[in-house]
Structure 1
Amino acid sequence: MVRARVLFAVLVLLGCWMLQTTSAHEVQLEEASCSKQFRSDVNITVVAGPGPAGQKGDMGPRGHKGTPGERGETGAPGEQGPVGPTGEKGDTGELGPAGETGTPGVSPPVPTLVAFSVARTTGLTTNWSKKQVTYDDVLSNEGGAYNMTTGKFVTKVGGVYFFTFTGKTSGEYMIHLKKNGKIMVSIREKIRDLVDNQASSNSAILELDVGDEVWVEVFPGAYSLHSNDGRFLTFSGFLISQM
């Protein structure tokens, strides 16, 4: 290796010497290298090869911390990620304090009560003339709408009412439930051998205005109704819904 370096240096010196004899231009020789350029009809450059690499130098001292740069623009929001799994149910929290007492509520109106039930304890006979049936025993008369003297129910509260009435005979009869003089429903019975007794009933739901009248009436004819303390003849009614 040393011999090769020495031989290389000799060749370099020889080249430099040859250049000195050819021209009077500047000659440069530094650290076993020589480079010569001169103007002639032909340009000739001689360059020596590089020397071996030197050892790595020590790291220099750390420089001063630079000033922070300007903050960049805020980037656009990224896409929303997938929803994560539902977590476990947490423990029940403590009971909060009681709230303030509310204002008292308004009670609903008390439904209007209208109801009556009457009975007749004696029989009734007609002679080819209509006759309004009256009842001498008042079982109930809530609201006071039934008139015991006339036998009529006179409406004091408009609404929908239910009425029912009965008849009993040992001969023949026909009776009607009337509203303001108009027949609503009827009962008719006739016994041919005049031995047995026959009883029937009928009922109706009527829509009444204040002042309407409802009663039971015997149709004109030779009819008879039978009753006694057993109260076989009755007339009843009550308010279903107020209008």
Structure 2
Amino acid sequence: MSGVLLLVLLLPPLGASVPSPSRPPLRYCRRCCDHLDPPESASSPRPGGLYVSPEVRTFINMTILKGDKGDRGERGTLGKPGPEGPQGSLGPVGPKGSKGQAGAPGDPCKTQHSSFSVGRRKALHSEDYYQAMIFDTVFVNLGEHFSMFKGKFYCYVPGVYFFNVNIHTWNFKETYLHLMHNEHEQVILYAQPSDRSIMQSQSVMLTLELNDEVWVRLYKRERENAIYSDDVDIYITFNGYLVAPSV
């Protein structure tokens, strides 16, 4: 009887609740730099921009969320110009420009002139296929338009010009000349080899532009090309003059 009474005293009352086993404390995800204490409420922010979701108790780092691109700001004020840099090296020569427009009409009361007459005292034997004839005597060279060094007339007054060349052939030798306008043959002076030397002449009128060139060129073919002259008399002459200037 005493054993039954002891068992009844040890049993808990039927309405009493049985204590549940202890649970481990709730742990929160946090960065090492976050505050150690848990947040007071689910919606309160944590240091560093972290928030706790009440459903899943997860921290969200708001600093890694990228927003929309903002509007472009206003242009700032222009800064001060910097110091002037060193001068660069000279660039390559550019292509030749197009021909310019004609200039204004000149003074109608001022007459324009251009003329020359030159000669050669020395005989000439061609040394190459193309050879410019050089002169050593000046009769007329108005304005120095004829270059004695190059044997060329340079046009400084555009217009119509008359040119004439006179030579004396050499016995038994060929004579072959071109009257040149820039790099183009205009007229030819030719004499076949003969036992008699003779005087030969050729003339032409040309329209020249500013800086055009007119000169005499020897042309050597299979046979020797030669022109006769001596130190006493002048057998070779080259002449030209302006007939009418361009309007």
Under a length normalisation based on structure 1, what TM-score does the superposition of the two structures give? 0.53
C-alpha distance in 2 between matches for 1:182 and 1:160:
17
Contact 1:162–1:237 at 8 Å: present in 2 too? Answer: yes
Give the corresponding residue for 1:110.
110
Query: Residue 173 of structure 1 contacts residue 224 of structure 1 at CA under 8 Å; is this kept in 2?
Result: yes
Contact between 1:146 and 1:153, CA under 8 Å: does it hold in 2? yes
User: Which deviates the most, 217-226 or 113-122?
Assistant: 217-226
Provide the C-alpha distance between the structure 1 equivalents of 2:240 and 2:209, rounded to a whole number of angstroms.
15
Find the counterpart in structure 2 of residue 9 from structure 1.
none
Number of aligned residue pairs: give it.
Answer: 135
Match of residue 220 from structure 2 = 220
Q: Work out which of the two has the higher radius of gyration on C-alpha atoms and give 1 or 2.
A: 1
C-alpha contact (below 8 Å) 1:191/1:198 kept by paired residues: no
Match of residue 98 from structure 1: none
Whole-Å separation in 1 of the counterparts to 2:202 and 2:169: 15
Could you tell me whether the CA contact under 8 Å between 1:167 and 1:187 is conserved in 2? no
5+ long unaligned stretches in structure 2: 1-106
User: AA paired with 1:239?
Assistant: L
Give how far 1:128 is off.
4.8
Counterpart in the other structure of 1:239: 242
Partner residue, 1:21:
none
Do the aligned residues in 1 keep the contact of 2:175 with 2:193 (CA within 8 Å)? no
Give, as a single letter, the amino acid of the residue that structure 2 aligns with 1:236. N
**Cα displacement (A) at 1:143:** 2.0
Amino acid at match of 1:224: A
Q: 2:162–2:204: 8 Å Cα contact kept in structure 1? A: yes
CA drift at 1:127: 3.8
Equivalent pairs: percent with the same residue? Answer: 30
Which letter does structure 2 place at the counterpart of 1:118?
V
Find the partner of 1:230 among 212, 230, 233. 233
Deviations 1:4-47 (A, max 9, x none): xxxxxxxxxxxxxxxxxxxxxxxxxxxxxxxxxxxxxxxxxxxx
CA RMSD of aligned residues (A): 1.5
Shift of the 127–108 alpha-carbon distance from structure 1 to 2, 3 Å rule, reads closer
Residue 157 of structure 1 is matched in structure 2 by 157
**What SS does the corresponding residue of 2:134 show, helix, strand or coil?**
coil
Instruction: Give the deviation of 1:119 after TM superposition.
Output: 0.2
TM alignment of 1:10-29, pairs within 5 A: none
> AA paired with 2:242?
L
2 CA distance for matches of 1:176 and 1:134?
14
In 1, the alpha carbon distance for the partners of 2:149 and 2:128 equals: 23
Q: Determine the structure 2 residue equivalent to 1:204.
A: 204
Distance 2:161 2:218 in 1: 22
Runs of at least 4 residues of structure 1 off by over 3 A?
none
Please list the CA deviations of residues 45-68 of structure 1 after superposition, one character each: whole Å capped at 9, or x if unmatched.
Answer: xxxxxxxxxxxxxxxxxxxxxxxx
Query: Cα distance, 1:191 vs. partner?
Result: 3.0
Amino acid at match of 1:191: P
Q: Deviations over 1:71-103 (max 9, x none)?
A: xxxxxxxxxxxxxxxxxxxxxxxxxxxxxxxxx
Aligned residue number for residue 138 of structure 2: 138
Kept in 2: contact 1:136–1:148 (CA 8 A): yes
State whether residues 132 and 218 of structure 1, in contact with CA within 8 Å, keep that contact through their aligned partners in structure 2: yes
DSSP-derived class of the 1:231 partner: coil
Match of 1:8 in 2: none
SS at 1:143's partner residue? Answer: helix
Which structure 1 segments of 5+ residues have no match?
1-106
